[in-house]
């Protein structure tokens, strides 16, 4: 889409082809403005460079690239996270597991130890560590590229997180935790959603286990017992239709207080239990 010369920010915002939120995100990014700056600067005329930059980014968005990758950022838990195609884009649904973890950490004597498995952008670990600077937060990921993004987020947001490169539990030694949380890849191989929307551009290894969707969840449930203190919580995000299966896996592995929690859309999104 070519942007007409001399157009004002206000006129543009109304005329861009994306939805209102994405129009605003893109304009703020290209013009270096805050949300408020966009409103107060509505009479400002775009420079030729800004118009060319905006057209190029619009073109990418219209070709399906996620807006978060185009601007390199997504807000999660009220915090600005840097994202790149090396990491899954944090979803609002995942704020549920952060809230559940924070509720449980609040009941423990400091310093509480939390492990985030498959941290990606660092969303869960950084959000928890930012809210609870006294907690000892460890985050692991198998992807070195993801860990680089997560480390940058922890530094920029000001969260104290220890990062470990590890294929699930393999590099953890005998470390023990009061709570383990994870948003692992849980989409089954061949699921139609993998070929739709933002997911087409996200790292496959963060989305799917290339199997039945439950294999990473099984690995975590089986291994977590050796790294959780007695009574420690395991909290797992999963797909919209996996709650019953995950509760079954947790019960079979001997966890107590097994239950699921619903996200804002009313879907059972997180299941968990305590190490007996
Ligand atoms: N919640 C993501 C989605 O369905 C999937 C994330 C994941 O597999 N952990 O879009």
Does residue 1 have a pLDDT over 80? Answer: no
Distance CA 63, CA 72 (A): 17
* Closest residue to atom 6 of ligand 1, CA basis: 207
Final residue belonging to a domain, choices 24, 47, 63: 63
Tell me the pLDDT band of 2, cut-offs 50, 70 and 90.
Answer: confident
In a domain, 79, yes or no: no
Distance 185 CA to ligand 1 centre (A): 7
Q: Which residues contact 47 (CB under 8 A, 6 or more apart)?
A: none
In a domain, 114, yes or no: yes
In a domain, 20, yes or no: yes
Tell me the pLDDT band of 59, cut-offs 50, 70 and 90.
Answer: very high
Verify that 253 and 126 share a domain, yes or no. Answer: yes
- Average pLDDT, rounded, for the chain: 96
Supply the pTM of this predicted model: 0.95
Give me the domain span that covers residue 24: 9-63
Predicted pLDDT of residue 159: 98
In a domain, 148, yes or no: yes
Verify that 45 and 153 share a domain, yes or no. Answer: no
Three-state secondary structure readout of the chain: CCCCCCCEHHHHHHHCCCCHHHHHHHHHHHHCCCHHHHHHCCCCECCHHHHHHHHHHHHHHHCCCCHHHHHCEEEECCEEEECCCCCCCCCHHHHHHHHHHHHHHCCCCCCCEEEEECCCCCHHHHHHHHHCCCCEEEEEECCHHHHHHHHHHHHHHCCCEEEEECCCCCCCCCCCEEEEEECCCCECCCCHHHHCHHHHHCCHHHHECCCCCCHHHHHHHHHHHHHEEEEEEEEEECCCCCHHHHHHHHHHCCCEEEEEEECCCCCEEEEEEECC
Tell me the pLDDT band of 143, cut-offs 50, 70 and 90.
Answer: very high
Verify that 35 and 140 share a domain, yes or no. Answer: no
Verify that 92 and 185 share a domain, yes or no. Answer: yes
Predicted pLDDT of residue 6: 83
In a domain, 209, yes or no: yes
Verify that 54 and 107 share a domain, yes or no. Answer: no
Verify that 237 and 110 share a domain, yes or no. Answer: yes
Comparing 41 with 267, the larger pLDDT belongs to 267
Verify that 173 and 54 share a domain, yes or no. Answer: no
Verify that 199 and 242 share a domain, yes or no. Answer: yes
Does residue 43 have a pLDDT over 80? Answer: yes
Per-residue pLDDT of 62-76, as tens digits, reads 999 999 999 999 999
Verify that 178 and 216 share a domain, yes or no. Answer: yes
Closest ligand 1 atom, residue 93 Cα: 1
Verify that 96 and 56 share a domain, yes or no. Answer: no
Q: What average pLDDT score do residues 155-176 get? A: 96
Predicted pLDDT of residue 149: 98
Query: CATH code at 160?
Result: 3.40.50.150
Q: What average pLDDT score do residues 253-262 get? A: 98
In a domain, 72, yes or no: no
Verify that 108 and 198 share a domain, yes or no. Answer: yes
List, chain by chain if needed, residues with CB within 6 Å of any ligand 1 atom.
88, 91, 183-187, 199, 207
Per-residue pLDDT of 193-250, as tens digits, reads 999 999 999 999 999 999 999 999 999 999 999 999 999 999 999 999 999 999 999 9
* Closest residue to atom 9 of ligand 1, CA basis: 185
- The residue count of the chain comes to 276
Does residue 5 have a pLDDT over 80? Answer: no
The pick from 211, 239, 243 for probing ligand 1's pocket by mutation, whose C-beta has the most ligand atoms within 8 angstroms, reads 239
Instruction: State how many domains the chain has.
Output: 2
In a domain, 269, yes or no: yes
Lowest mean pLDDT across 10-19, 26-35, 124-133, 157-166: 10-19
Distance 207 CA to ligand 1 centre (A): 6
Please name which of 234, 223, 208 lies closest in space to residue 173, comparing C-alpha atoms.
Answer: 223
Verify that 257 and 165 share a domain, yes or no. Answer: yes
Distance 66 CA to ligand 1 centre (A): 14
Please name which of 179, 182, 177 lies closest in space to residue 220, comparing C-alpha atoms.
Answer: 182
In a domain, 187, yes or no: yes
């Amino acid at each position: 889409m070519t942007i007409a010369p001399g157009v004002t920010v206000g006129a543009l915002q109304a005329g861009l082809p994306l939805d209102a939120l994405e129009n605003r995100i893109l304009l703020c990014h290209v013009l270096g403005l805050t949300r408020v700056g966009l409103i107060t600067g509505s009479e400002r005329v775009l420079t030729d460079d800004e118009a060319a930059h905006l057209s190029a980014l619009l073109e990418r968005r219209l070709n399906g690239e996620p807006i978060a990758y185009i601007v390199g950022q997504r807000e999660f838990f009220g915090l600005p996270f840097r994202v790149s195609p090396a990491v899954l884009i944090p979803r609002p649904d995942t704020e549920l597991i952060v809230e559940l973890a924070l509720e449980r950490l609040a009941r423990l004597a400091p310093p509480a130890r939390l492990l985030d498995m498959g941290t990606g952008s660092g969303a869960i670990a950084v959000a928890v560590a930012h809210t609870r600077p006294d907690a000892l937060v460890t985050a692991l990921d198998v992807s070195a590229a993801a860990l680089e993004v997560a480390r940058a987020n922890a530094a920029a947001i000001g969260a104290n997180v220890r990062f470990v490169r590890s294929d699930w539990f393999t590099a953890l030694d005998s470390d023990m935790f009061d709570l383990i949380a994870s948003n692992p890849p849980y989409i089954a191989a061949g699921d139609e959603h993998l070929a739709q929307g933002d997911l087409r551009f996200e790292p496959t290894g963060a989305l799917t286990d290339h199997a039945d969707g439950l294999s990473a969840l099984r690995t975590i449930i089986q291994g977590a017992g050796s790294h959780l203190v007695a009574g420690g919580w395991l909290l797992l995000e999963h797909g919209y239709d996996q709650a019953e299966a995950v509760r079954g896996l947790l019960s079979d592995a001997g966890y107590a207080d097994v239950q699921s929690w619903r996200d804002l859309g009313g879907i059972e999104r997180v299941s968990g239990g305590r190490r007996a």
